Structure 1
Amino acid sequence: MKIAILGGGESGVGTALLAKQKGYEVFLSDFGLIKEKYKKVLEENAVEWEEGTHTEERILAADIVMKSPGIPDKVTIVKAIKEKGIPVVSEIEFAYAYAQNISIGITGSNGKTTTTLLTHHVLKEAGLNIGVAGNIGDSFAEQIAVAPDKIYVLELSSFQLDGIETYKPHIAVITNLSPDHLDRYDYKYENYIEAKFRITKNQTEEDFLIYDDDDEEIKKWLSTHKVKAQLVPFSLTKKLNQGAYLEDNNIRSMINDEKVIIPIKEIAIEGKHNVKNAMAATLVAQMMKVRKQTIRESLSNFQGAEHRLEKVAKINKVQYINDSKATNVNATYFALESMNVPTVWIVGGVDKGNDYDELMAFVHEKVKAIICLGIDNEKIKKAFSNVVDIMIETTSMNEAVKIASKIAEEGEAVLLSPACASFDLFTSYEDRGHQFKEAVNNI
């Protein structure tokens, strides 16, 4: 069997290693440049590769193609592969065939990284043989090559779910839905929603779908589609007989008459959205038969995800918070909602068709100054110039943090929560977050 792999990043190289182990003839092709660390791995494992081009003849000779999630279907080579009838799969789909244990799949527009890491943390603290992969950490395929018997908690993007045919999580979680990546879905929100719900398409009556019962789009979809999995909701606003809900500042989580009660003041990560993330993780843990005490202790000692409402430092009694992973308005909504002191807000980058209206109430109430960090800040200026007194444009992280440190006073906060992609000034949201932390530490 011949496999062609498009993309020489984490998922592509991981797939190459697993495919090689399983006896495939492997050819990896990247239209861009492959990082040196990945080239080294490919060379060490005798994997044929190319960069800067796609040799169509070699790729179209494959029996199966693994397409990295960042490559759109409209790319010429992908169209040619599909026209020839060659199956195109994601790394998740390819690796799943060799997994020997169940997986837990977590998706959503926001909160999926935190929920994935939190779920992994709780299950690991319980002593389960557990791994974490997907849109986070080392690739699923590479880890399956080394430890196929582990239970994996997978963070799954819509792009990864687009490429599944047989993948089936025993427990699926949808944290929430809001418009994102619409450029990949013909600018149709319903197409993006369908992609997210692919997480449950292969589930059976023995499987579970955990979801946010306060999310209108999730409820709407579930009301018009048949799902085989057992539905397990969580909510901040209503009492539930089965699932998790909030009452008297306690999470009450009920699965098959087994109740867990967790005071929200004991949860290490703050904000209403993190109460929901904790609910989802608690429900998974209950299904995996984790002891109540272990669940409570794990939620109280969890460190949180880097670049997601990460407290960097307190300098001159000003708290600096790195929320660089907030690449859309909905993520920034959660960040501003969780702020309880006057805030200097650093915002901006590559706008993905943002509508800033839903942030207005929080900006009125909590934001004392806005620092625009991007090449084109016109939309942000137009949205908020009449709402805040201080608005300053910057084009470097050092400058933004220096100005913020002069504006913020004792007892206030500086929040980097861009609501935009990072590619105008940074290589990734991680790069943006690291630069923020470095600039803060240099104050």
Structure 2
Amino acid sequence: MRDLIILSIILIGAAVALWRPWIGILLWTWVSIMNPHRYAWGIAYTSPVAAIVAVSVLIGTLFTKYRQSPFQGAPTIILFLFAIWMTISWLAGYDTAGDYPQWDKVIKIYLMTFVALMLLNHKQKIIAFAWVTTLSLALLGAKGGLFTLLTAGNYRVWGPPESFVADNNHFALALIMTIPLLHFLQLQLLSVWQRHAVTAIMVLCAIAAIGSYSRGGLLAIAAMTALLWWRSERKLLLGMLIMLMVAVFLPFMPETWWERMRTIQTYEQDASAMGRINAWIVGWEVAKNHFFGGGMSYQHPYFFSMYGVYEDIVRAAHSIYFQILGNHGFVGLILYLLLWLTTYRSAGWLRKHGKAQPQTQWASDLGAMAQVSLVGFAVGGAFLSMPYFDLPYNIMVMVVLARKWVEKRAWETEKEVTLREMLSFRRKAEPAARAT
């Protein structure tokens, strides 16, 4: 039954995407981030659901008038350059054939990112995209938070099987990045009970992140909390609330959790941590000696036997920075860092200029929370190998499109429509946009 429900949603959504490709982008986002088919046990689990949706969206994009150039800001141009450099690096890498599946997966994510930039040309579309992106993870986080509470933290929380966030550490970082986005969406709600519901989901996501036993996740949530406290106009109240939550919840975590967290201070005695440092050294040496890097992955016995200091065991980089450095060299790392630096600055621009009038306050809220989420990614990602994960790129899409919306003063000319009207198949409900 679960397989039939999932496949029915996919097939119906794919058909709709032929006429309304932006709806297909929402469906793609749900499939690629939440991975609902991985919670089935039959035909849906192995079906190429993402490919079905992507093909429908691409066909719909070719025929729709309502699209725009994907190059809407500096981050999009840098992402395009990085995608080109990544491809060159893959072709010049150590194992081109073996690295093809990873290149194929990442380039599809980047392709759909650019398609999203082309199709989300209205305020309501951007907000709908934010809702789908955020809830795709938040609902899993709420489930994980309840599991942590019911089991008193004695078992780890894991992400969807065979996904970017299947690992407990990766899932923790994804949930941490989701919390600020939930707060952005909460600020757009008028109903009191809906706001309280979002607050409950935020708390459960935080509990699930802690229940993942992720040390990098703990550092990320600490960095995000510090930034939120620093920006708050009620520092004393927020500080007391944070201390209260820490005092109430953390003492209930089992000793196994505390033992793992203590290794943050004694990393030199932890074999896992030293293995990461060795992988970082290998990544640095690969970049020094190979201009284009090792390819889509530098995790090869050849590199580790040649450059390993503490051991020659092949290990994941456990760092977005050293993973990109080892994979694509110094040029690739520079482009990657520029991508997120310009996205962060664009979010800061939104946070500042969105306050100018009531119509753009939502954009200011988005910019502020996007910055907090990106800080979590920057800190937590320093200890995790997830540089190609969809969520940060979706945040970039939201920020870039919202900034363009504010810059062109779209609220003055954009037709006010409800999301229900936008889902309609009547042409008059489609917002005006310049075809390119």
**TM-score over 0.5 for the pair:** no
Q: TM-score, normalised by structure 1?
A: 0.32
The structure where strand makes up a greater share of residues is 1
